[in-house]
Structure 1
Amino acid sequence: MLYHRFFRAEKLILALLLLLISAPFSSDLRGDEPNILTRVVFQDDDAKTVRWADLLAGSPPKLGPVQTIAGFPKLDAEKQSLVQMGVAEGMILVGVRDEEDGKLQSGWVLIDSGVRSEDHGDHSHSTYESAPKIVATQLDNAQGNPAHLYVYDNVFYLANDKLNGYTRIDPKTLDLKSGVSEIVKQAQFVSGGGGHITLAAVDKKVGYSSWIDRSGERQGQVDVSRFSDGKVAYSLKLPSGGIHGATSNSGKVFFAPSDGICWVEADLDASLGATQVKTHHLSLGKEASSDKPLRTGAFTNLGHHVLFVTGKGAQATLCTLDAQATDPQPTMIPLGLEEGASPVGPMVGYFLGETPIALLFHDHPSTSEAKHYLSVVELDPNRDGLFADAAILHRMEVGRSRVSGHAGHHDASILADQKHALLSNPGDGTLVLVRPRRAEEVATFQVGGAPSKVETIGGPSGH
């Protein structure tokens, strides 16, 4: 009797073992890496380098080991800095400037993120083939000390301020197997703009680049250049100078001079000439404490809308323009920030099954002890495709910024899952995963240093 019980138990154990062998193993049993939700790449303003980690699935999600990108150039922390970062076609471009007007070492670093994504209509599939790696570096005393980096139509445009032009790098046309020196040669220099260049590119054909001058013969000047030959075709004159922002959307080009907003119809073959181009001006009002015109410094695009911020403190406002309109007029959404706070953003995106939202940080001077917040703005509550009814959804407290010039600001990147956003807190050395529509903090990751500009590349790996 005892023998038969033992035999039955042995058969049961054997059957269970066979079932385990034949059944698909979980990732833990296989010893595989956990599912990757996205790849995180961020600038560390302390170390003057770019770091990365994978965000891993879990409850809550976890951040994998944080690493510096292998081979990233060692910069002089006192004399050099990183200037913005962009992503296109799985590639990352980072600008570098120095404190000696480009005479020390400035230029750019091109990085392969190691992420490949395929669009399958209603979803995309991402594979994480390798760690990020340096593809090419161009750092020397002849790169014009860039300050601004733009991405239009998945092409990089890096302003070379002291060279009166900009570098155009199209990841799709690069021969990545040709070696560093050959890749550098594939970058195109385009003449146009000067001082502290901001620029817009239209349909991979023509570029509009600005001069920063507030007075003199270059005041309000915008150069229009063809990419076919990289030369200036003609120049426009805006009614005011100090241009510090530009973008293109829906066949129009928008500029941010010292007074309000200006826009022109895009000239795709740069054939009209300055006298045939009509410049439109939109006033944003005046500062509450003076007669100084309100202005903005940068634009963000979302579909056929152009978004930007103006004012500070109680006068801070989010503005939206429908670029498809014949006569676009700004919709103004008061933000009501704390005294001394400046709006940073907006970072915008569409959320799964929801209306689009904008994220705006309330940044303070580094000497301020005030709390920092994030305003979440619902852009299209009635779902009519217009942003005329945009309204603040809620605000949530976030970590600290550490503003120093153009560095040390908060940043945010909306994940491919269209549910989460990753925020950077330079003053706290943290990255925070949030669900903005719920004002919910999901996880905080201590990464050290001063994480500022952050990008998330790729969606769930689907192991």
Structure 2
Amino acid sequence: MKSLFWKRYSVLFMISLLISGCTAADAGPEETETETKKKPDVAESRKKKPTVCRLFIQDHAGKTVYWADIRKGETLEMSTPSVVPGFPKLDAKQQNLVQMESSQQTMLVGVRDHKDGTNQSGWVFLETGVEEESHGDHAHWKFKQEPHVIQSQLDDQQGNPAHLYCYQGVYYLANDQNSGYTRIDPRSYRDYPESPITAGFHRGGGQHITLAVVDGTTGYASWIAGGGPKKGLVDVTRILPEGNSEICYSFTLPTGAIHGLTTCGGKVFFAPADGICWCVADRNPLPSEQQQVNVQYISLGVDSETQKPQRTGAFTTHRNYVLFVTGKGPDACVCLLNAESDHPELISVPVPMLEGNSPVSLEVCRTAWGKRLAFVFHNHRQELEQDEFFSVIELDPDGDLDFQDASLLKTMKVGDSKVEGHYGHHTIAFDQAGRYGFWSEPGTGLLKALSLETLMPVGEFSMPGVPTKVIAVGQQDETD
């Protein structure tokens, strides 16, 4: 009887072990200790998610810049947004952040005050903490360090900048009240990180300066005056690392109120009160009292209601094309010019909008799948209550690098903007690989992610304050 009991007990014991998912060997103290040691490693591996890019977001309410990493798990995730360490505390009632640009894994942010530069205006230079390790045909991106401020220059001598540009990887900050602009080369910081940031001031332009720099040698700087002796005036200056107080020569456009400049394809393009003007770039400007500049004009038509000439206010470039927006409501368009053509002709892509909406924040991206896309938002004044959207234009549907066939691809509803003058518009940025876009919604306090493959939203993140300008740095490491 005793033997039968133990047999039955052994069977029942084995069954219970099997039901609980164990075997007799699992009970061994050595094996149990080994398995226990493995568990943290497994948990750690699950925590490690590849970083897609690092985002920098201006907060218009707090007048500061936040940063956060976008990581990829089953979905896109964003780390907790934090103010960039060392970012100066600004007076939210007396100062504004203006444009910001990125180059060489650094960033420059412009600061403007409400007293024509007599209070505290200037710039803030940031280290993004992102490292690109180039291997010729590919690169590895590292996100091991936090960003931080390297140096800032905020005082009553900086001329109250409004516009900031990046040409050939070098920053140029317009010092409006000083009738000139400051050159800051981030490569100098990369070569000599312990040295102070070198800023070279150049004379040229005034009042509300827009700027183009050709091949790092020639600066074209505008005056915004719509009348008087400075109407349509453009100053040409030789660019030098240490700065240059001499203007080589000046010339005038047919109309004034110049509010945009760029360079592309050996030409310089201007956005005055009427249409587009352009001239051949002078790569070797020499001092001259009188210089003959052959200014060409391209009409953008007239406003259907006011009968005033259509115009634009800003440019972006992609390959050999200059892109800009014009019109409003049902007459809004994204326009292109082939800068390499001897006589650039207007390519116009209608982007119809609701009455009261205007096109803003035009950006271009080449996606990881080879598509060349332009994005433009439909924004309106804050007091107007109606829906807002963004539109996507496919620039090169047949892939032959001729953008004559550019066409509207998609329009999608987005959350509100919060427009106050020049501030509070949506903006969009793209990771370096061209897999994702990230756009701000100032009116909702959200940052949203877009797949550039499907053009569908793939993430939504809450931001402090009023998120506006966005910059993305880096891409997911190919080894992840």
TM bin, normalised by shorter chain, reads: over 0.9
In the alignment, is the contact (CA less than 8 A) between 2:367 and 2:452 conserved in 1? no
In the alignment, is the contact (CA less than 8 A) between 1:53 and 1:63 conserved in 2? yes
Q: Which residue of 1 aligns with 2:393?
A: 377
**1: CA distance, partners of 2:250 / 2:303:** 30
How much does 1:271 deviate?
Answer: 2.9
Task: Work out whether 1:206 is the aligned partner of 2:218.
Answer: yes
Residue correspondence of structure 1 range 358-437 to structure 2 within 5 A: 358-436=374-452
Residue correspondence of structure 1 range 230-309 to structure 2 within 5 A: 230=244, 231-271=246-286, 275-309=291-325
Change (3 A) 1:449 1:18: closer
Task: Work out whether 1:166 is the aligned partner of 2:185.
Answer: no
**2: CA distance, partners of 1:75 / 1:64:** 25
Amino acid paired to 1:374: F
Change (3 A) 1:440 1:32: closer
Match of 1:448 among 464, 469, 472: 464
**2: CA distance, partners of 1:92 / 1:109:** 8
Match of 1:45 among 56, 60, 80: 60
Greater shift, 272-281 or 447-456, is seen at 272-281
Change (3 A) 1:34 1:353: closer
How much does 1:125 deviate?
Answer: 1.6
**1: CA distance, partners of 2:138 / 2:436:** 16
Residue correspondence of structure 1 range 121-200 to structure 2 within 5 A: 121-174=136-189, 176-178=192-194, 182-183=196-197, 186-200=198-212
Greater shift, 107-116 or 166-175, is seen at 166-175
Task: Work out whether 1:109 is the aligned partner of 2:127.
Answer: no
How much does 1:448 deviate?
Answer: 2.7
In the alignment, is the contact (CA less than 8 A) between 2:371 and 2:396 conserved in 1? yes
Amino acid paired to 2:437: A
How much does 1:291 deviate?
Answer: 2.5
- SS of 1:224's partner is strand
**2: CA distance, partners of 1:390 / 1:423:** 23
> Matched residues, percent identical?
42
**2: CA distance, partners of 1:289 / 1:73:** 46
Change (3 A) 1:20 1:200: same
Residue correspondence of structure 1 range 1-16 to structure 2 within 5 A: 8-9=25-26, 14=31
Match of 2:234 among 218, 222, 230: 222
**1: CA distance, partners of 2:57 / 2:325:** 24
Deviations 1:283-337 (A, max 9, x none): 1011111221101000001111110000110111100011111111110011111
Change (3 A) 1:7 1:436: closer
The number of aligned residues is 457
- SS of 2:149's partner is strand
**1: CA distance, partners of 2:419 / 2:211:** 24
In the alignment, is the contact (CA less than 8 A) between 2:361 and 2:425 conserved in 1? no
Q: Gaps (5+ residues) in structure 1?
A: none
TM-score by length of 1: 0.93
How much does 1:384 deviate?
Answer: 1.4
**2: CA distance, partners of 1:176 / 1:69:** 22
Task: Work out whether 1:71 is the aligned partner of 2:83.
Answer: no
Task: Work out whether 1:88 is the aligned partner of 2:100.
Answer: no
Deviations 1:208-258 (A, max 9, x none): 000001111111111110113523111121111100000011111111000
Deviations 1:396-425 (A, max 9, x none): 111110011111000000122312100000
Q: Which residue of 1 aligns with 2:351?
A: 335
**2: CA distance, partners of 1:64 / 1:197:** 37
Measured on the aligned residues, the alpha-carbon RMSD in Å equals 2.4
How much does 1:10 deviate?
Answer: 6.0
In the alignment, is the contact (CA less than 8 A) between 1:376 and 1:437 conserved in 2? no
In the alignment, is the contact (CA less than 8 A) between 2:26 and 2:32 conserved in 1? no
- SS of 1:108's partner is strand
Deviations 1:163-214 (A, max 9, x none): 00001100002365445xx32xx11001100010000011111110000011
**2: CA distance, partners of 1:69 / 1:161:** 27
**1: CA distance, partners of 2:174 / 2:441:** 27
In the alignment, is the contact (CA less than 8 A) between 1:341 and 1:364 conserved in 2? yes
**2: CA distance, partners of 1:12 / 1:247:** 73
- SS of 2:177's partner is helix
Change (3 A) 1:20 1:193: same
Task: Work out whether 1:312 is the aligned partner of 2:328.
Answer: yes
How much does 1:269 deviate?
Answer: 1.1
**2: CA distance, partners of 1:352 / 1:388:** 22
- SS of 2:291's partner is helix
